[in-house]
Amino acid sequence: MATKLPPVDVVIVGSGWTGGIVAKELAPTGLKVVMFERGRPQDTYPDFAGPQAHDALKYTRRLHMVQDLSQETITFRNSMDQVALPIREHGFYWPGTNVGGSGAHWSGLTWRWLEWEHKMRSGTIAKYGKGIVPEDMNLQDWPVSYDELEPYYDKFEKVCGISGKAGNIKGRKVPGGNPFEAPRQNEYPTPPMTASHMMTLFDKATSNLGYHPFPIPTANCSQDYVNPDGIPLGQCHYCGHCTAYGCEANAKASPHFLMLPLARKNTNFELRANATVVKVNLAADGKRATGVTYVDARGRELEQPADLVILGAFVTGNVHLMLHSGIGRPYDPKTNTGVVGRNYAFQGGGGAFILLDKDVFTNPFMGSGALGSWIDDFNGDNYDFAKAGYIGGGGISLGNNSGDPLTYHPTMPGQPRWGRGWKKAMVDAYQHVSAIGHQGAVMSYRQNYFDLDPTYRDAFGRPLLRLTFDWQENERKLMAAHTAVCERIAAEITGRKQESAGTPRSFGRFNSARYQTTHNTGGVVFGDDPNTSALNKYCQSWDVPNVFVLGACVFPQNAGRNPTGPVGALAFWAADAITKKYLKRPGALV
């Protein structure tokens, strides 16, 4: 029996970007706000101070800041006729843990999504007709347009000090930026990072081929910067230990130093770490949340009553809590009805190796999580994807990210995979191999979804979340086409044919054991229709209006870019709706 605590006004589940943003915006209202974080407390000092900040074994092998799969995991299968098994190795599944969530150790590529990515269904049908959408594809529009979200993208970029070059300010094309981007009101707050030698080779080759390279917008700050909240960010020193690590310079934007200290200035805000929320509790009629139940570090079960519940527990955590708590109708793939668990999507990958001459050095140990050049010529609806035979696109890029000794072991295809031969191949390749990668959009299908596993349970006795996912024909075609573009660019750089990297051309079934990206989307999507979405345009549950759900779980399908730009913008958007509308008149906002 859980011990009942005195009631509070708001509980927030998760201390990552989404939880951090709403905490920072809600704490000054004077309401009693309690945030729960299942992981440990951590801060830049002492946790990310040198030299232990660069402990590769701790961060990239033992994944110190990633969810402990012995406590909680998900089960996975490719299709409904298979038995799903628990994920025991991280592979494609890397949910962050500890204070700051994944935001404390992400890479930092920070995008605005294209206008089309906010209206994929209507935008596609307007251009190509209804017939282009396969019968099993649950293609849906966002309920929020790019124009509505633009001020919130701008706010997130300013808070994080994003380094980049605008390509379109108020409709005026700006040389050096992305010519395909939607109009923005302002230039990025800080200039692009210094380009690496490999980036200059990529820029030259893609320009020769008629494409439009530009520097990736990064949350690795290119110079000292003070954000609008008065918080200083340091200058990135290209330390090469970025993705999966904390930043000792506070150059990598993270909620643990940009959001939570501001929330904590208010004595009405409290952060409880080592506290896992296991359920959102509902009133007897199921139409109102009464608070949450959580388990603390001592294993005690406690009930925290609250008037408003905000979930920011990453995609899988949010979907799990919604299903386990009985909020919203669970999705049924057989009838394509129900909403919670619907529209899961991942991201496609692949690319091409670049084997350079021995006098060209890549210096892979020097870089940052997001440092790189990108082209958007094959992304979204910037090109005729219908002519190419599928819906969607993706970004193509070259990054100088991390050459740390435990994770970066490049060898060319055909070289030995172990022993002395492998070591020699690795030493030969380390300074002279690079790669072009592509990140492909993945559409949503009725057969790709989440539900609760009938067999396996977590350490708290809850059924595990089950994921059913596989590549579909649309995505296989897209990945094959984009791999060919990567090969073309690699050949332009070296003057000779180069091998494809990562994913083979004949894409088989999705392999959950392989690291690809961390970009899971969907499961609790937002929309205009309660029959096809769990949330309204303010990320508020249609069924239980005092529950808001934030994060990439709200995206109806995935894009050819990383998710955190829109995740952050939507968290500010929802926080605005809560403070300006909901708190004045609690109830359904739509």
Catalogue the active-site residues: 519
Q: And the tokens for 2?
A: 């859980």
Q: Which does 102 bind (CB under 5 to 8 A by kind): ligand SF4, ligand FAD, none?
A: ligand FAD
Secondary structure tally for the chain: helices H, strands E: 13, 24
User: Which residue lies nearer to ligand SF4 by CB, 402 or 444?
Assistant: 402
Contact 548, 311 (CB under 8 A): yes
Q: How far apart are CA 187 and CA 174, in angstroms?
A: 10
Binding site for ligand SF4 (CB under 6 A): 220, 236-239, 241-242, 245, 247, 249, 251-252, 368-369
Q: Which does 36 bind (CB under 5 to 8 A by kind): ligand FAD, ligand SF4, none?
A: ligand FAD
Handedness of CA 57, 362, 179, 193 (dihedral sign): positive
Q: Is 156 in the site for ligand FAD (CB under 6 A)?
A: no
Residues 20-49 that bind ligand FAD (CB under 6 A): 36-39
Site size for ligand FAD (CB under 6 A)? 40
The amino acid that residue 543 corresponds to is D
Residue 367 CB, nearest approach to ligand FAD (Å): 13
φ/ψ of residue 387, rounded to 5? -65, -35
Q: How far apart are CA 159 and CA 212, in angstroms?
A: 28
Return the residue of 87, 144, 277, 280 that touches ligand FAD, per CB under 6 A.
Answer: 277
Q: How far apart are CA 12 and CA 311, in angstroms?
A: 6
Residue 193 CB, nearest approach to ligand SF4 (Å): 9
> Comparing C-alpha atoms, which of 355, 480, 365 is closest to residue 414?
355
User: Which residue lies nearer to ligand SF4 by CB, 39 or 240?
Assistant: 240
User: Which residue lies nearer to ligand SF4 by CB, 14 or 403?
Assistant: 403
CA 363 to chain CA mean position, Å: 27
Residues 540-569 that bind ligand FAD (CB under 6 A): 551-552, 562-564, 567
Token pair 């092998």 in the structure block, residue: 61
Q: Which does 74 bind (CB under 5 to 8 A by kind): ligand FAD, ligand SF4, none?
A: none
Pairing of strands 168-169, 33-36: unpaired
Q: How far apart are CA 62 and CA 40, in angstroms?
A: 15
Contact 144, 74 (CB under 8 A): no
Q: Is 14 in the site for ligand FAD (CB under 6 A)?
A: yes
CA angle 142, 147, 152 (to 5 degrees): 90
The amino acid that residue 251 corresponds to is A
Residue 185 CB, nearest approach to ligand SF4 (Å): 26
Q: And the tokens for 532?
A: 């096809």
Return the residue of 103, 328, 338, 522 that touches ligand FAD, per CB under 6 A.
Answer: 103
Q: Which does 245 bind (CB under 5 to 8 A by kind): ligand FAD, ligand SF4, none?
A: ligand SF4
Residue 524 CB, nearest approach to ligand FAD (Å): 11
User: Which residue lies nearer to ligand SF4 by CB, 368 or 521?
Assistant: 368
User: Which residue lies nearer to ligand SF4 by CB, 184 or 252?
Assistant: 252
Part of the chain binding ligand FAD (CB under 6 A), chosen from 15-23, 162-170, 261-269, 281-289: 15-23
User: Which residue lies nearer to ligand FAD by CB, 391 or 567?
Assistant: 567
> Comparing C-alpha atoms, which of 383, 483, 458, 416 is closest to residue 69?
458
Q: Which does 190 bind (CB under 5 to 8 A by kind): ligand FAD, ligand SF4, none?
A: none
Which residues 6+ apart lie within 8 Å of 30 measured at CB? 266, 268
Q: Which does 330 bind (CB under 5 to 8 A by kind): ligand FAD, ligand SF4, none?
A: none
CA 250 to chain CA mean position, Å: 20
Handedness of CA 330, 332, 333, 339 (dihedral sign): negative
Residues 357-416 that bind ligand FAD (CB under 6 A): 369-370
User: Which residue lies nearer to ligand SF4 by CB, 401 or 503?
Assistant: 401
Return the residue of 8, 32, 87, 95 that touches ligand FAD, per CB under 6 A.
Answer: 95
Q: And the tokens for 122?
A: 């209507």
Q: Which does 244 bind (CB under 5 to 8 A by kind): ligand SF4, ligand FAD, none?
A: ligand FAD
SS3 at position 422: helix
Return the residue of 27, 92, 96, 220 that touches ligand FAD, per CB under 6 A.
Answer: 96
Q: Is 331 in the site for ligand FAD (CB under 6 A)?
A: no
Q: How far apart are CA 507 and CA 270, in angstroms?
A: 48
Residues 296-315 that bind ligand FAD (CB under 6 A): 312-314
User: Which residue lies nearer to ligand FAD by CB, 103 or 123?
Assistant: 103
Q: How far apart are CA 570 and CA 583, in angstroms?
A: 18
Q: How far apart are CA 372 and CA 400, in angstroms?
A: 6
Show the binding pattern over residues 215-254: x = contacts ligand FAD (CB under 6 A), - = does not: ----------------------------xx----------
Q: Which does 552 bind (CB under 5 to 8 A by kind): ligand FAD, ligand SF4, none?
A: ligand FAD
Q: How far apart are CA 187 and CA 83, in angstroms?
A: 50
User: Which residue lies nearer to ligand SF4 by CB, 105 or 476?
Assistant: 105
Return the residue of 42, 44, 75, 102 that touches ligand FAD, per CB under 6 A.
Answer: 102
CA dihedral 554, 244, 562, 133 (to 10 degrees): -70
Examine residue 364 and say whether the peptide bond preceding it is cis (omega within 30 degrees of 0). Answer: no
Binding site for ligand FAD (CB under 6 A): 13-19, 36-39, 94-97, 101-103, 105-109, 243-244, 276-277, 312-314, 317, 369-370, 518, 551-552, 562-564, 567
